[in-house]
Amino acid sequence: MTTTRIATRFAAGATALAALAAAAGLASDVYRDVPAMVDQARAADLVTLCLAIPVLAIALRLAMRGSPGARLVLAGSLGYLVYTYAIFAFQVVVSPVTPLHIAILGLAGWALLLEAPALACETRGIGAGLPRRTTAGFLALVAILFAGLWLGQIGSAITSGDLPAAVSDLDLPTSAVYTLDLAFVLPLFALGAWLLVRDPQAGYPLALAGLVFAVLMALSVFALFLIQAARGELSDPSVAVGFIVIAAMAAALAMSGLIDRRPARPLTPEGIAR
Most trustworthy range by pLDDT among 111-120, 148-157, 257-266: 148-157
Confidence category of residue 1, pLDDT binned at 50, 70, 90: low
Q: Answer yes or no: are the C-beta atoms of 111 and 11 closer than 8 Å.
A: yes
pLDDT at 273: 39
Task: Kindly report, residue by residue over 150-201, the tens digit of the pLDDT.
Answer: 999 999 999 999 999 989 999 999 999 999 999 999 999 999 999 999 999 9
Asked if residue 57 belongs to a domain, the reply is: yes
Task: Kindly report, residue by residue over 11-33, the tens digit of the pLDDT.
Answer: 999 999 999 999 999 999 999 99
Structural domain span for residue 54: 3-258
Helix (H) or strand (E) segment spanning residue 199: none
Domain count, the chain: 1
pLDDT at 121: 86
pLDDT at 231: 84
Strands (E), 50-150: none
What is the average per-residue pLDDT within 63-81?
95
What is the average per-residue pLDDT within 61-81?
95
pLDDT at 4: 86
Using left for φ > 0, alpha for ψ between -120 and 50, and beta otherwise, residue 161 falls in left
Within 10 A of 87 (CB to CB), how many other CB atoms are there? 21
Asked if residue 268 belongs to a domain, the reply is: no
DSSP classification of residue 221: H
Asked if residue 265 belongs to a domain, the reply is: no
Residues in the chain: 274
Residues 6+ apart with CB under 8 A from 165: none
Confidence category of residue 232, pLDDT binned at 50, 70, 90: confident
Distance CA 124, CA 201 (A): 6
273 — phi, psi (to 5°)?
A: -65, 135
Q: Mean pLDDT lowest for which of 77-81, 180-184, 191-195, 228-232? A: 228-232
Asked if residue 274 belongs to a domain, the reply is: no
Residue 205: CA count within 13 A, CB half-sphere? 20
Question: How many Å from the N-terminal Cα to the C-terminal Cα in the chain?
Answer: 33
Asked if residue 111 belongs to a domain, the reply is: yes
The larger pLDDT score, comparing residue 259 to residue 246, is at 246
pLDDT above 70 (res 268):
no
Asked if residue 121 belongs to a domain, the reply is: yes
Asked if residue 267 belongs to a domain, the reply is: no
pLDDT above 60 (res 246):
yes
Asked if residue 266 belongs to a domain, the reply is: no
Sign of CA dihedral 140, 56, 106, 83: positive
- Distances from the Cα of 85 to the Cα of 6, 21, 97, 213, angstroms: 21, 10, 11, 14
